[in-house]
Amino acid sequence: MANKQEKSSKSIGIVKKITGSKGFSSLAAALMAILLGLIFGFLVMLIARPGSAVPGIRYVTLGGLGRIGDVFYFATPILMTGLAVGFAFKMGLFNIGASGQYTMGMFFALYAVFMLDLPDGLSWVVAILAGFVGGMVWGAIPGIFKALMNVNEVITSIMFNYIGMYLVDMLVLKNAAMYNPAMTRTRYIPSGAQIPALGIHGSNVNFGIVFAIIIAVVLYIVLEKTTFGYELKATGFNKHASEYAGMKGKRNIILTMSIAGGLAGVGGAFAILAPSAIVGSSMTYEPINIIATAGFNGIAVALLGNAHPIGIIFSATFISHIQRGGTLASLVGYKPEIIDVVVAVIIYFSAFAMIMNTGLGKFVKKRIEKDKKDLEIKEGSE
Amino acid sequence: MANYIIEMLDITKEFPGIKANDDITLKLKKGEIHALLGENGAGKSTLMSVLFGLYQAETGVIKKNGEVVKINNPNDANALGIGMVHQHFKLVEIFTVLENIILGVEPTKKGLIEKSEARNRVIDLSEKYGLKVNPDAIIEDISVGMQQRVEILKMLYRDNEILIFDEPTAVLTPQEIKELLKIMRDLAEEGKSILFITHKLNEIMEIADRCTVLRKGRCVGTVDVDKTTKEELSRMMVGRDISFTIDKKRSQPGEKVLSVKQMTVASKTHKNNAVRNVSFDVHAGEIVCLAGIDGNGQTELVHALSGLDKMIQGEVTLCGEDISKASIRKRAISGMSHIPEDRHKHGLVLEYSLAENLVLQRYWQEAFQKNGFIRFRAVEQYAERLIESYDIRSGQGPKTVVRSMSGGNQQKAIVAREIDKDHELLVAVQPTRGLDVGAIEFIHKQLVGIRDAGKAVLLVSLELEEVMNLSDRILVMYEGEIVGELDPSTTTVQELGLYMAGAKRNKGEEAFNG
């Protein structure tokens, strides 16, 4: 009986269900945000170089389509850092330390490659796991501070971005097996320790993106289907109620930050272990005291993806797409700096508009809900 | 007829598929107190939202002093002199009382806020109406009762002439209610017109001039209060007869379930301890009521009992097990259920569905999870069972987002969850706050039912009537101490009131302080 009713109500309300669902409204919000971002990006291009603005914006918006491989290649690390930010966000934690975790993961991966004597094929697997451990440690520390001493995780994780970066740079510079002073970079990673390429011509896209998407799906399952996800989201929504329900808030904070850190760390490993199209070379790390941008892009990715793991797959791909398109805009005379500005404007405007949308959405919703209180009774007796 | 200050004529407000207000007419005379009565979810709030400009009605008009007005938003309402005290407070938690009162109408001097004048006015108002508040206290530090006072002051500060009170007495103590009702009468005498939403028939009988009753979105009728009775009103509201007396047998106290010894709990708002050296027992098969005026340590005592806050000293024993330092989860497993005072802060995850909230205390149990994966079918079936047996009304059943449910049904969900969970002791803090008579009757029956099933109940209530009717034993708290133990069958409301006000103390207190 119940099943039949369910089915009939399903078929009746399909349209209502799609348009009324949370997924739809956040997708609509994301698309609106992107549109706003593009308009502002176009305005910047118009100001910088009026004559080339139209072909320029065309490159930015459509250029990536010709380089799908690269889009996914560059999407890989920011997808991971996006997950790192988004996952913690579900618990109400703002993990701004994805950069440090990413760098730490990269270092651990490098360490596994150069310092452990592992056979080809196994090496990169171990290195990815090492990356997870590295990021995890770097995420856990702010988590521990937050849980045990109630130190704001934003402050500690920002500090740990710097601590992690300087520490890694120091360790790399001191390590002759890793560092090549002649190139002022880390040494080339042997091809056997690189993640296998997906074989798209002219692109470094590799299995990293496949793993990243799988990880995102796994996270989605963890968040939606498990008791841990239930606790995590409950804590994010209402800390007091989760406490009242006897959830172990402190343990969950540490666990969440550790997992988030680990995700960013895997992102670092994916980035450094990517195969190179040029035979005999590889990705390298240059210890020049610069904070990894992947961490901050991860914030934009997470915001645009509404902190939803599946949404983050798409937002990471979109941001990578805009960045690829942006590099092509130099063909119509835009300087790289201007392109950076345009890309940044699009990304951040999209992300901010997304916040505005959801913030605004919440406000409107609250008003409606105030009234809804009276309705559900009638609906029930319908 | 110009003596109507507000007329809401044939108001219909529809939401997809439902009529929340169906052709409702409400006429408010100048200077009258007009009660609006109806069950939880009868459409009272919707109607008031229309008047306050939060909603536009599909059909119908609103007239002020006989002229049609258009109220598009609360600012329009304010401009017309319509003020509202909302059921759920609209206060900025981190602002002070004064800042909240002047919010939106801040007096300024050269662009800077000029607080001193406002402060004097607020102090005057609060003294004049006996609404005691400290203008410099931060909202999140003060009790729910005090927050309510701030809401009322906010409206008085704005000199509104049409005042909507949305269940203002739900959180006040008996004394405060008396004072408030007096204020409302004074205001009406000054010529202000009051719309008074309440579930409490006694209050309507006491101060309202007329009463409009809504049921399921329709107007049942408007009656002159002095020509009707409580029974008549409740029949109009619910559509059936309601019993006001609680039918219960004498209690048969059994084993000691809860034993509290020398509990002392620190206060978060002042330097003195909120709970001082309190000792008491609760036995199986009895309802012990912790009575007292809001803010005399009941909240802190319950928090320490449930593990939400730590004790400075003392010992809590539940079913023979020392749980003084046990975790909240451990206490729950040991047999404690807890209906919290603040349902939005502690009791519910508003963003979660009804089903998810109904398993909030037991999602981790074998029945609802397997290897860490939630068994959604089991959760849903369980939720459907509770919804059915506790009559929790919601739009989409187990899938309803709890935020969208009416306050009464949110409360029912908590009650259902806590009663249905295995327990030996139920700590119920103001379990009927803000509920209509039908729901109150239901919850009272449930409490008596679990008592008769041999469970212990510790009830914290501010409602004298509830205390007198429901409890088997009354402990009165005053300034953090238990000042008296009374037997409801031999005591009077007046005597209880004296204890609550601290005017009387039980000489034999050593006997139960151990």
B283-334 residue pLDDT tens: 999 999 999 877 789 999 999 999 999 999 999 999 999 999 999 999 999 9
Contact A206, A274 (CB under 8 A): yes
- Among candidate residues A337, A303, A334, the one with its CA nearest the CA of residue A318: A303
User: A21-31: per-residue pLDDT in tens?
Assistant: 556 666 777 77
If asked whether residues B206 and B265 sit together in one domain, one would say no
Contact B387, B397 (CB under 8 A): yes
Residue A137 lies in a domain: yes
Closest residue to A374, CB basis, from B46, B346, B394 = B46
Contact B139, B100 (CB under 8 A): yes
Q: B344: which 2 tokens?
A: 């939005």
What range does the domain containing A228 cover?
68-359
What range does the domain containing B490 cover?
256-335+422-513
If asked whether residues B458 and B313 sit together in one domain, one would say yes
Residues of A in contact with B75 (CB under 8 A): none
If asked whether residues B287 and B324 sit together in one domain, one would say yes
Instruction: Check A240 against B346: CB less than 8 A apart.
Output: yes
Residue A78 lies in a domain: yes
Question: Which pLDDT score is estimated for A24?
Answer: 64
- Vertex B440: Cα angle to B436 and B445 (nearest 5): 155
Helices A123-149, A98-115: axis angle to 10 degrees equals 140
Residue B227 CB: number of other CB atoms within 10 A? 8
If asked whether residues B292 and B375 sit together in one domain, one would say no
If asked whether residues B273 and B321 sit together in one domain, one would say yes
Question: Which pLDDT score is estimated for A136?
Answer: 97
Residues of A in contact with B360 (CB under 8 A): 234, 241, 245
Q: A139: which 2 tokens?
A: 């995420």
Residue A263 lies in a domain: yes
Instruction: Kindly report the nearest CA distance between residue A234 and chain B, in angstroms.
Output: 6
If asked whether residues B162 and B118 sit together in one domain, one would say yes
If asked whether residues B404 and B297 sit together in one domain, one would say no
Question: Which pLDDT score is estimated for B417?
Answer: 95
Instruction: Kindly report the nearest CA distance between residue B438 and chain A, in angstroms.
Output: 14
Q: Give yes or no for A249 touching B (CB within 8 A).
A: no
Boundary residue ending a domain (B411, B433, B465) = B411
Instruction: Kindly report the nearest CA distance between residue A229 and chain B, in angstroms.
Output: 9
Residues of B in contact with A92 (CB under 8 A): none
Residue B245 lies in a domain: no
Q: Tell me the CATH number at B55.
A: 3.40.50.300
User: B17: alpha, beta or left, given left = phi > 0 and alpha = psi -120 to 50?
Assistant: left
Question: Which pLDDT score is estimated for B168?
Answer: 80
Compute the distance between CA of residue B141 and CA of residue B146 in angstroms, rounded to an integer: 10
- Residue type at B91? L
What residues contact residue B510 under an 8 Å CB cut-off, 6+ apart?
A: none
Residues of B in contact with A375 (CB under 8 A): 15, 18, 20, 41, 46, 395
Boundary residue ending a domain (B364, B384, B411) = B411
Instruction: Check B394 against A240: CB less than 8 A apart.
Output: no
Instruction: Check B41 against A374: CB less than 8 A apart.
Output: yes
3 state DSSP class of B357: helix
Residue A232 lies in a domain: yes
Compute the distance between CA of residue A322 and CA of residue B424 in angstroms, rounded to an integer: 61
Kindly provide the ipTM of the predicted complex, given to two decimals: 0.77
Instruction: Check A227 against B369: CB less than 8 A apart.
Output: yes
Show the low-confidence residues of chain B (pLDDT under 50). Answer: 1, 508-514
Pairing state between β B82-85 and B162-166: parallel
Residue A279 lies in a domain: yes
Contact B501, B291 (CB under 8 A): no
Q: Give yes or no for A227 touching B (CB within 8 A).
A: yes
If asked whether residues B376 and B505 sit together in one domain, one would say no
Pairing state between β B425-429 and B456-461: parallel
If asked whether residues B286 and B329 sit together in one domain, one would say yes
Instruction: Check A374 against B328: CB less than 8 A apart.
Output: no
Residue in chain A closest to B38 (alpha carbons) equals A374
Instruction: Kindly report the nearest CA distance between residue B16 and chain A, in angstroms.
Output: 10
Choose from A13-17, A100-104, B82-86 the range with maximum mean pLDDT.
A100-104
Domain total of chain B:
3
Closest residue to B19, CB basis, from A246, A378, A380 = A378
Give all strands (DSSP E) within B55-154, no chain letters: 59-64, 67-69, 82-85, 108-109, 112-113
* C-alpha to C-alpha distances, A241 to A37, A151, A250, B362, nearest whole angstrom: 37, 21, 14, 13
User: B65-116: per-residue pLDDT in tens?
Assistant: 889 999 988 888 888 889 888 877 888 888 999 999 988 888 888 888 888 8
Residue in chain B closest to A6 (alpha carbons) equals B396
Is the full-model pTM beyond 0.80? no
Choose between A304 and B18: higher pLDDT.
A304
Residue in chain A closest to B374 (alpha carbons) equals A226
Residues of B in contact with A228 (CB under 8 A): 372
User: How large is the C-alpha radius of gyration of chain A?
Assistant: 23
Domain total of chain A:
1
Residue B122 lies in a domain: yes
If asked whether residues B285 and B383 sit together in one domain, one would say no
**Weakest mean pLDDT among A147-156, A304-313, A327-336, B209-218:** A327-336
Compute the distance between CA of residue B348 and CA of residue A174 in angstroms, rounded to an integer: 54
User: Is residue B499 classed exposed, middle or buried when 0-12, 13-18 and 19+ CB atoms within 10 A define those classes?
Assistant: buried
Q: Give yes or no for A367 touching B (CB within 8 A).
A: yes
Closest residue to B332, CB basis, from A234, A246, A371 = A246
If asked whether residues B218 and B120 sit together in one domain, one would say yes
Residue B14 lies in a domain: yes
Residue B340 lies in a domain: no
| Kind and range of the H or E run holding A359 | helix A336-372
Residue in chain A closest to B20 (alpha carbons) equals A375
Please state, rounded to an integer, the average pLDDT across all residues of chain A. Answer: 85
Size of interface A-B (CB pairs under 8 A): 132
Residue B417 lies in a domain: no
| Kind and range of the H or E run holding B26 | strand B18-29
Contact A99, A245 (CB under 8 A): no
Residues of B in contact with A237 (CB under 8 A): 349-352
Instruction: Check A225 against B45: CB less than 8 A apart.
Output: no
User: A129-169: per-residue pLDDT in tens?
Assistant: 999 999 999 999 999 999 999 899 999 999 999 999 999 99
Residues of A in contact with B372 (CB under 8 A): 226-228
Instruction: Check B373 against A374: CB less than 8 A apart.
Output: no
Instruction: Check A382 against B17: CB less than 8 A apart.
Output: yes
If asked whether residues B71 and B155 sit together in one domain, one would say yes
Q: Tell me the CATH number at A212.
A: 1.10.3470
Residue B309 lies in a domain: yes
Boundary residue ending a domain (B380, B411, B442) = B411
Residue in chain A closest to B364 (alpha carbons) equals A227
Residue A382 lies in a domain: no
Residue A39 lies in a domain: no
Closest residue to B360, CB basis, from A245, A367, A380 = A245
